[in-house]
Structure 1
Amino acid sequence: MSEPQVGEELVRLASADNFRDVAADGHPTTDGGRVRRGVLFRSNELQLTDADAHALRDLGITAVYDLRGDHEVAAHPDVPVPGATWRHLPVGGIPMERVAALETGEDSLAAMLDVYRGFVEHPAARSAFGELLTAMATTDGPQLFHCTAGKDRTGWAAAVVLGLAGVADDVVLADYLLTNTFSTATRAKYLGQIAEHLGPEKVAVYEAVMVADEAYLRTAWDAVAAAYGDLRTYVVDGLGVAPDDVDALVRRLRD
């Protein structure tokens, strides 16, 4: 299969609305380069139709990394992608009990900020992200990583990858926030379920959990700066990714 070229139509999946190429249409880098398309893909959970599963096969996907917890996988197992191996890399340290017990919008905001801080500070989260980056650096062919909404765990992983590749923070942030555009229908579905099962008054409480927010990503960036100084040091020292593997991943991503 020929490599996608900048300007080609981006692949969209009917059954996974937050599926997209990490490179988008070829994100620019600060030194005048571009991120290569067709290398890494991101998504929400893979509850795929047959047509969409085969569309991923046609992209040449060789590996799928599932960042969800055990209960999420058990409730909604991925539809297999033909030709791809599936690997479970659950991101730990997310306070699911706290999220389930939210009472106010302020509680939701505080919980989400803690989730993103935990991506940097919690050992179980760092272990999973480290395994993910190492696997992507050492596995041949196009690869896909995802969580449930493709928003937080997936969003942070994509932000780290793009940052390593030399994409400016404002471009990374804009890419991160695209979840709010792509996942409008899914977000409305989940908020409808909350209204039905928990009551209409809970919709406002959980809205902060359902969106990508600039404050969330900046919280993780600030945690990186405070603990490690820069993104590469976070990846090498915090996530345990070998420097050679970081370099290999960057080479794969750069045109």
Structure 2
Amino acid sequence: MNERVRTFEGIHNFRDYGGYAARDGRLRSGILWRSGQHGAATPDDLAGVAQIGLSTVIDLRGDSERQSMPCLRPELFDAVVLFAAGETVGSELAPHEEAGRGIATAAEAKEAMTRLYVNMPYREVLVRSLSLYFDALATREGPSLLHCLAGKDRTGLAAALLHRLLGVHEDDVMADYLLTNVAGNQARRIAAAGDSIRERYGDQITDDAIVTLMGVDADYLHAATRSIEERHGSVEQYAEAVLSVDAARREALRQRLIE
């Protein structure tokens, strides 16, 4: 799994989420990329991104996140950047930052993150962002990059939805989601987030709680999946009713992404 990961200095969790066996073949490699934000990218990082030849970037962050940490771009960058205006998690905060409010321990952090995932598939601006994402994958050629702030929660949900719609085995769906916990320089990413979270909420938050907030857990994705299935019966029905990804759009995704 770690062969999927591109290690950069200032871009965390950058990796290929293609290549998995799917319902009618295998997802293409080298065209589906995911990551965290690029606001701290170094010149070498940007040169590495440029080598991929991105044609589309889908930014799942909210307006406040884009304003406070604009992404740096490679020289001659000409990819189309897509995003929905507004706050994709219902506030100006990333999910892990939102979940840090009022908690101190790892157990409290996990409970807060799990609660957050129950409603994540239905947050209005994120729904519009996800619709842009699936439309782009179904209609645009070339490599794409999907990202949010940390590249783990909103991005993780979006990637899991695509995988499931294309028939990727559930073991691989979860393995790709959990790869966040070992991708890249975890210590640097967690330390930076810890400083930010404690500055916002106070020093009572333990180190273990910070690690929990900055990681992912199978229970989080299970919570989102249960919420989807309880309301709509299946991911396919959710995608059609909420994201406008009908059978024709799923076929377009299959044609472009599966070999």
* Pair 1:66 & 2:59 matched: yes
Q: 1:11 to 1:199 in 2, by over 3 A?
A: closer
Q: Take 2:153 and 2:10, find their aligned partners in 1: how far apart are those partners? A: 19
Q: Which runs of 5+ in 2 are unaligned?
A: none
Q: Take 2:99 and 2:4, find their aligned partners in 1: how far apart are those partners? A: 37
Contact 1:93/1:118, CA 8 A, preserved across alignment: no
Q: Take 2:219 and 2:4, find their aligned partners in 1: how far apart are those partners? A: 31
Deviations 1:127-186 (A, max 9, x none): 221222112211221111100110000001111111122111111111111101015131
Q: 1:79 to 1:116 in 2, by over 3 A?
A: same
Partner SS, residue 73 of structure 2: coil
> How much does 1:99 deviate?
3.1
Partner SS, residue 150 of structure 1: coil
Q: How many corresponding residue pairs?
A: 245
Contact 1:138/1:245, CA 8 A, preserved across alignment: no
Moved more, 9-18 or 175-184: 9-18
Q: Take 2:152 and 2:72, find their aligned partners in 1: how far apart are those partners? A: 19
> How much does 1:121 deviate?
3.0
Given residue 133 of structure 1, which amino acid in structure 2 is its aligned partner?
F
Moved more, 183-192 or 92-101: 92-101
Q: Which runs of 5+ in 1 are unaligned?
A: 1-7
> Structure 2 residue aligned with 1:40, among 32, 48, 60?
32
Q: 1:191 to 1:159 in 2, by over 3 A?
A: same
| Aligned positions of 1:86-165 closer than 5 A | 86-89=81-84, 92-94=88-90, 96=93, 99-105=99-105, 106-165=107-166
Residue 3 of structure 1 is matched in structure 2 by none
Partner SS, residue 178 of structure 1: helix
> How much does 1:74 deviate?
1.2
Contact 1:195/1:202, CA 8 A, preserved across alignment: no
> Structure 2 residue aligned with 1:75, among 51, 65, 68?
68
> Structure 1 residue aligned with 2:12, among 12, 17, 27?
17
Deviations 1:43-89 (A, max 9, x none): 00013222222322221201111111112111110012412122223
Deviations 1:173-217 (A, max 9, x none): 111111010151311332255457732644344433211111000
Residue 5 of structure 1 is matched in structure 2 by none
Contact 1:67/1:91, CA 8 A, preserved across alignment: no
Contact 1:91/1:129, CA 8 A, preserved across alignment: no
Given residue 120 of structure 1, which amino acid in structure 2 is its aligned partner?
P
Q: Give TM-score, length-normalised by structure 1.
A: 0.85
| Aligned positions of 1:180-199 closer than 5 A | 180-183=181-184, 184-185=186-187, 186-194=189-197, 198-199=202-203
Q: Take 1:18 and 1:58, find their aligned partners in 2: how far apart are those partners? A: 17
Moved more, 105-114 or 162-171: 105-114
* Pair 1:236 & 2:231 matched: no
Residue 222 of structure 1 is matched in structure 2 by 226
Partner SS, residue 174 of structure 2: helix
Q: Take 1:63 and 1:30, find their aligned partners in 2: how far apart are those partners? A: 25
Q: Take 2:123 and 2:229, find their aligned partners in 1: how far apart are those partners? A: 15
Query: What fraction of aligned residue pairs are identical, expressed as a percent?
Result: 31
Given residue 160 of structure 2, which amino acid in structure 1 is its aligned partner?
A
Q: Take 2:7 and 2:230, find their aligned partners in 1: how far apart are those partners? A: 37
CA RMSD in angstroms comes to 2.5
Q: Take 1:179 and 1:166, find their aligned partners in 2: how far apart are those partners? A: 21
Moved more, 244-253 or 146-155: 244-253
